[in-house]
Amino acid sequence: MSRTSAVMLLVIVLAWAAPAAAQTPGGPVRAMTFDEAIARAVEQNPDVAIARNAIQRAEALLQQAQTIFRPTVSGSVTTSVLDSERSFGDQVTQPRTQSVIAGSVAYPILAPSRWAQSGQAADQVAVAELSVVDRARAVAVATAQAYLAVIAQKRLVETNERALETARAHLAYADARLEAGAGSRLNALRAGQEVATSEALLELARLGVRRAQEALGVLVAADAPIDAAGEPALEVPAGTAIAGDGTWVMGRTDVQLSLALQRAAQRVVDDSWKDWLPNGTVGLEPSYVTPSGLFQPSRSMRAVVQFSVPIYDGGVRKATAAQRQAALDLTGLQLTDLQLQARSELRSAQAAVDITARALEHARLAARNAAEVLRITDVAFRTGATTNLEVIDAQRRARDADTAVAQAEDRVRQARLDLLVALGRFPG
């Protein structure tokens, strides 16, 4: 056996052995429909769960802020032991051991800045809820892209399987002619080389499918690869239906979240003046002393009304107000930037849908022409009008054309998904 034949045989053996080594342990890969994958990802993806945890933290802060509307009750027990009792004549004024049981009930009757914190905390709960929705949208988009990647990689596998089938048929014909003494060993080697190349490309395509399935499995929180059960519809609206309508921007969850952040920052700025108002508290403090002294009754009750007015704090409140205004200005800038980006994404997505659709038609036409060229070239080779170099070149061109069709189909699906995302209509 020549060195070239040995190398070709080794490549073929390795190519056939690779699928067995790459088998998925435990049986076939589970398949999901597009809607099932999106729903499972939104429900079980850890990133969405983390965002939901932020709602719990915001609600806890809201409950903490709302405690200002409830009274506070406290109690204490104090025991004092002196070196000796104190007396005046034969009267004990201070026992050596004395216990004081005291309590207090207080209620803020005037606390403007703390009352404002309750409304601000409620805004943060709304922001956290919108953050969950926006995070779920991001996870759904990533899941959809992974799902489409699985479909695209499977299309590449189908393309390479067809190319391999064609290459094997040509190899069988070349071997038959060689055995009959009508062909040449060179033609057989060329055909075998094309078979080995097609095998290698097929294995790479299968690897791409497995990686895409693993990525989809991670997004849907499944500890296993997930396959695509079918192709999604991804119905997009007509261009004329949204050409002059600007309300679609408000349907995007990221814009809604940015608006909520701006409203929350505006409330904080609007409440800054309340930091200058006085605070007032009313309270009741009962106490019980045992044993009582000469000047200490055993039971007493004290009512307290207290007001405090901040006069000078070194400029802390003024600096805090400036910081809050800067934060509000930042949310406005971020909202403007987000809206500009959203409109740009919509224009790009609309153009991509139209362009990729035309590109797909051209790719399909090229694939049909390449398939016809391959058929004609194969017929010409079998009649002896040409060599198998033209056949192999036609096979490669046909495989490349089919690959271009699979890639163009994927770009069309991705463009339709991008348009739905830009419009804020995905997930529906």
* pLDDT score, position 242: 58
The parts of the chain modelled with pLDDT lower than 50 are 1-26, 240
What is the tens place of the pLDDT at every residue in 11-62?
Answer: 333 333 344 333 444 458 899 999 999 999 999 999 999 999 999 999 998 9
As given in the structure block, the two tokens for residue 224 are 């296993």
Task: Give the span between the Cα atoms of 202 and 211, in whole angstroms.
Answer: 14
Burial of 263 by CB count in 10 Å (0-12 exposed, 13-18 middle, 19+ buried)?
middle
Report the candidate in 205, 111, 118, 217 with the shortest Cα–Cα distance to residue 158.
205
Bridge-partner residues for 228, per DSSP? 32
* pLDDT score, position 16: 39
Task: Give the span between the Cα atoms of 253 and 289, in whole angstroms.
Answer: 63
* pLDDT score, position 290: 87
Q: Does domain 31-82+91-423 have CATH number 1.20.1600.10?
A: yes
- Whether the ω angle into residue 291 lies within 30 degrees of 0, i.e. cis, is yes
* pLDDT score, position 133: 93
Cβ proximity of 187 and 222 under 8 Å: no
Three-state secondary structure call for residue 95: coil
Task: Give the span between the Cα atoms of 199 and 206, in whole angstroms.
Answer: 11
Residue type, position 262, single letter: Q
Domain ranges of the chain: 31-82+91-423
Report the candidate in 301, 300, 296 with the shortest Cα–Cα distance to residue 98.
296
How is residue 318 annotated by DSSP?
H
* pLDDT score, position 27: 59
As given in the structure block, the two tokens for residue 102 are 């005291």
